Amino acid sequence: MNSGPGQQTLFDNDQNTMAPEKTPADKKAAPDQKAAAKDGGGKDKSGGGGSAAEQMAKKQREISVSEFFTKNRHLLGFDSPRKALLTAVKEAVDNSLDACEEARILPEIKVKIARIGQSDKQFTMTVEDNGPGIVANQVGNVFGRLLYGSKFHRLRQSRGQQGIGISAAGMYGLLTTGNPVRVRTKPGKRAQPLFFEITIDTAKNRPDAVQKSIEWEKDHGTEVSIDLEGEYRRGQKSVEEFLKLMAVANPHVYLHYTDPDGNVTEYQRATKELPQEVEEIKPHPHGVELGVLLKMVNESENRTTSAFLQEDFSRVGPTVAKEICAKAGIKPEANPRRLETSDVAKIKAAIDATKIMAPPLSCIAPIGEDVIITGLKKEVEADFYVATSRKPVVYRGHPFAIEVGIAYGKPGDTLQMTDSGKIVEVAAKKPENAEVLMGAADEPVRLIRFANRVPLVFQQSACAISKAVIDTNWKNYGLQQPRGALPIGPMVIFVHFASVWVPFTSEAKEAIASYDEIMEELRLALMDAGRKLGSHVRKGKKLANEFKKRNYIEVYIPHLVVALKDILKLDDKQVERAQGKLTNVLEKSRKL
Amino acid sequence: MAAKKFTPKEQPKKKDRGPLSDLDKVTLREIRNCAVHVHGKIEAEDKPELKFPDRSLKNARYDKKDGYFVMGRSRVERTLSVNTVKSFAQTLKMMSLSKQLIDEDDFATKREAYYVSKNWEEAKFDEQPESDAAMDDIEALFSLEGVMREHLRFKADEHGGKVAGQLIVLDRDRDSGRTLRIDCTGFGSGSYSIPTSVEQLGFETKAKFILVIETIGMFERLSQHNYWKTAGCILIGTAGVPTRSTRRFVRKLADAHKLPVYAFNDCDPYAFSNIYRTLKVGSGNAVHLNQFFCVPQARFLGVSPQDIVDYELPTHGLKDVDIKRAQDMLKNDPFFQAHKEWQRAIEMMLKSGQRAEQQALAKHGLNFVIEEYLPQKLKEANKFLP
């Protein structure tokens, strides 16, 4: 068996990668594939001449999930050891937060990265939450089965979307270290805490879970540990930075982080307000692609097309359903399961040609201007904070809302006017957390992007948010901006995209696609925040200018008075008095 | 070995200063008045201001009777503010330096004064034009009282003109105070050089006129061939635009002995306006000084546009800048506007499009200028351009 799936290592160049053939899952995979190949060959025999078909048939087989994963790991965010570590943390934290918030529990998350032995290449990532826990028979599916989850099949604003993340991380860990995913969970105060070791049958996409009862001093919660190949580094795009950004957008979360050297960083909770509870909505007809529509038709429990349209979609009543059927030339009472593909295509065209009320916007939970500012203040030291939260609107049938926050100015670089009219420099404070988000005054601003409260760390340049920030004319707001680039200044721009369905450009969930409606909302939100910023920047510039001028006065007055002293032979007292009076006269004459 | 830091010795103050001259007293009084005014305003918690005469051509008036550009009444008031505090401090520091120079009976060239300011920390001048401008300001401020830069003890760095001929200059020995008699006939192949400050000079002469020559080449020819002896005159070579001290020297000399002054220049717009007109009526941008630094009795001997025709002189075409300058003279310069003869001469030049140099007379022989041109011209001195 030379060409078995998963045979090649994930990082082909890396000699130290543990070969996945040692995994039990892989051993099981082999016979299945042989069987699949035989079946395929049999079917094809009638179609053509003997040995050629036979040869081809040998190559035709079901692609196992692990093979798919190996080939497409970049789509899932596991394309380098460094990124893999961060992606695994991100997926685990996303899951924990979603679970906590859905259960209306204020989240407390503990993240720990530890080296395996002395290795700098293998780590154990552990994420523990105080969420509701997971019932025993679901644990395997949640952590050991790709595309399994509660999120893909419904339209509800949540961090995860496809149910691909944490199980992909588990599979990555399994493929690179051979070690199973370990889970502790306690689904309720009186429930029995359980421990699971989960391997993944990569051929069948089935979890293989071994469970045992344990003792766990905790009311409720879940802890997942994954051993994986990774690379630990600090700085940009590090786990630390990701957690810091998480803390900015989620000030209701308490985060506790232990790095591989045992250093602990705590991100304190700044608000006890959980994000607003969101309603789940049915898809809006305008947001449905033909493929999804076909699937919906097949899975519908409704007996008539009219009922299918009304029941399975939002904003479709009898009148609209009738109109769609008429336009498509389909009888309203036709059984949707019996519709031909061409009929469904007609329905899709009819939907697009029909005016339908916009979807309900209650399914969107923006962070809100106050909370954005709370989050920024908590993690970014600045002089000035502003936020703008746009009302939800709709793109392609999906409601979404754009929010922008700005933290501007490094304390210490700035001036302040006292009540008595003196201008003084504001002293710099030491940042509490090591990761400093804001750059220097002559560097490009720092853009931090979020989708449904999750930081987007990679692929900044491909993202609609970046494009919108670059397209905004920041010169209008007192900043410098090179052509086609981010503006320059001591500033952090926070942009949040909240939606039931975030249009990522890839499954790795790193960049948002540039739909016209999204670009327009981004533009408006950035402009609004920019205007608020502008008046502050101008005020600061005025103050700085004035400070310079007053300094100027104070520099030259002594020379002027000394000249008078030399000519008029003034004594020290007279000199001092003249200097004081002159300074007063000049400063008083300055108007601000 | 570590470099030793240089520390200058404390300069001993001069005590045995001679008695102050009247002008020194006036100058000191003006400096003091100015400082008292500024100090008084400060004491009254008021913003001090200084009123400077407007030193621009716009504020210049030409009166044939006066014979030079005079300053109009326009004043520029400079109030102490953020924008002026530096130059205000520098102006006062400069006055203080001037006072010190008078107290110690010393002087500083403009360049030296600029370097003295380097000891003023933030109030130092970055470039010499700035310190020159401060000096000009003070000079303009005090000019109403007859005080000049030389009285403030600031001297030009520029060279003075050269003098040869029947003239004895009376100067003073700095150490002994004895009067020096300098005979300008006795420099052989050299010449007497006009000092940067001429106020203290006296003159003895029996010459009939003063010839002010634009080029040193022509000055050398005339002095080497002792033209001054045959013509009975004083030769002064300016090498281009006459410096302040040269103008002052000619003026004092001409006034003292009632001598006519004849200018002998190239024939081009620059020679007419920048050299001759500056000699005669002063310059536009130093209007406040012209009453001292001009020679209203000067007349233009040549070379005139008519001379080009009369003596068939070789010429060069006028350049664009020449034409522009000539047109500007006709349009904007109050001096040329006041004299029809000059307007005709300039128009004639523009029409021909030609200019000529003094040396062009050599076409007819090197000493043609001595033997024919100057004697012929001097016979009809009343025909010289005004």
What's B331's domain CATH number? 3.40.1360.10
Return the pLDDT at B61. 74
Cβ <8 Å between B35 and A568: yes
Asked whether residue B13 is domain-assigned, the answer is: no
Residue B238 contacts residue B216 (beta carbons within 8 Å) = no
Q: Which of B93, B120, B155 is the last residue of a domain?
A: B155
Q: Give yes or no for B36 touching A (CB within 8 A).
A: yes
Q: Which chain A residues contact residue B118 at CB under 8 A?
A: none
* Per-residue pLDDT, A154: 58
Rounded Cα distance between B265 and B278, Å, is 13
Query: Of 2.40.50.140, 3.40.190.10, 3.90.1170.50, 3.30.565.10, which CATH number belongs to A81-267?
Result: 3.30.565.10
Residue B16 in any domain: the answer is: no
Let me know whether B146 and B228 are in one domain.
no
Coil, strand or helix at A264: strand
Question: Measured between beta carbons, which residues in chain A are less than 8 angstroms from residue B88?
Answer: 556, 560
- Between strands B298-302 and B261-264, the pairing is parallel
Which residue range(s) make up the domain with B249? 207-383
| B99 interaction partners in chain A (CB closer than 8 Å) | 566-567
DSSP state of A14: -
Q: How far is B156 from chain A (nearest CA, A)?
A: 24
- Per-residue confidence of chain A (592 residues) as pLDDT tens digits? 443 343 344 444 333 333 344 334 444 434 444 443 444 334 444 444 456 777 666 665 555 666 777 777 777 778 888 889 998 999 899 989 988 988 899 999 999 999 998 888 999 999 999 999 888 888 877 787 665 544 445 567 777 655 567 888 888 898 889 899 999 999 888 888 999 998 877 667 677 888 888 888 888 999 999 999 999 988 888 899 999 999 999 999 999 999 999 999 999 999 998 888 877 888 888 888 888 888 888 888 888 999 999 988 888 999 999 999 999 998 999 998 888 889 899 999 999 889 888 888 888 889 999 999 999 998 888 888 999 999 888 888 788 999 999 999 876 656 666 666 666 666 655 544 445 778 777 889 999 999 999 999 888 888 999 999 999 999 999 888 999 999 998 899 999 999 888 888 876 678 999 989 899 999 999 999 999 999 888 888 888 887 877 887 888 999 999 999 999 999 999 999 999 898 888 877 765 5
Q: Given this model, what pLDDT does residue B268 score? A: 93
- According to the model, what pLDDT value does residue A66 have? 64
Q: Which of A559, A562, A578 minimises the CB distance to B42?
A: A578
Amino acid (one-letter) located at A125: M
- The interface predicted TM-score of the complex, written ipTM, equals 0.70
Domain boundary among B112, B133, B155: B155
Structural domains of chain B, count: 2
Residues of B taking part in catalysis: 115
Find residue B368's DSSP bridge partners: none
B128 and B26 together in one domain: yes
Residues B229 and B377 in one domain: yes
Q: Does domain A369-532 have CATH number 3.40.50.720?
A: no
Query: A585 vs B95: CB contact, 8 Å cut-off?
Result: no
The CATH number that applies at residue B151 is 1.10.10.10
Do residues A514 and A395 make contact, with C-beta atoms less than 8 angstroms apart? no
Residue stretches of chain B with pLDDT short of 70 = 1-5, 10-17, 56-58, 284-289
Task: Tell me which residues of chain B, numbers 101 to 130, contact chain A at a CB-CB cutoff of 8 Å.
Answer: 120-123
Rounded to 5°, the CA angle B157-B158-B159 comes to: 120
CA dist B184 and B169 (Å) reads 7
**Which of A478, A470, A475 is CA-nearest to residue A535?**
A478
Contact map slice: A 534-573 vs B, CB within 8 A: 549-550, 552-553, 555-557, 559-560, 562-564, 566-568, 570
Residues A147, A142: Cα–Cα separation, whole Å:
9
Using a CB-CB cut-off of 8 Å, the residues of chain A touching B50 are none
Cβ distance A559 to B96 less than 8 Å, yes or no, reads no
Distant-in-sequence, close-in-space partners of A474: CB < 8 Å, separation ≥ 6: A480, A481, A487, A489, A530
Q: Is residue B178 part of a domain?
A: no
- Determine how β-strand B154-155 pairs with β-strand B298-302: unpaired
- Among partner residues B42, B47, B99, which is closest to A567 by beta-carbon distance? B99
Which among B155, B176, B196 is the end of a domain? B155
Cross-chain CB nearest to B89 (options A549, A559, A581) = A559
**Is residue A144 within 8 Å of residue A167, measured between CB atoms?**
yes
Pair (B113, B218) in one structural domain: no
Question: What architecture (CATH level 2) is domain A285-352?
Answer: Orthogonal Bundle (1.10)
Query: Residue B277 in contact with residue B270, Cβ under 8 Å?
Result: no
Cβ neighbours of A562 in B, within 8 Å? 93
Q: Which two tokens stand for residue A544?
A: 């700085």
User: How far does A576 lie from chain B, in Å, by closest CA?
Assistant: 11
Contacts of residue A549 in chain B, CB cutoff 8 Å?
82
User: What integer pLDDT is reported at residue B182 of this predicted model?
Assistant: 92
Determine, for residues B47 and A570 on separate chains, whether the beta-carbon distance falls below 8 Å.
no
Domain check: are B212 and B149 in the same one? Answer: no
Nearest CA in chain A to B92: A563
Q: Which amino acid is at B70?
A: V
Looking at residue A295, its pLDDT comes to 84
Chain B closest-CA separation from residue A538 CA (Å):
21
pLDDT, position B94? 94
The DSSP code for A202 is T
Do the chains contact at A566 and B99, CB–CB below 8 Å? yes
Residue A376: predicted pLDDT: 92
- Give the SS3 label for residue A403: strand
* B217 and B347 within one domain: yes
SS3 state at A469:
helix
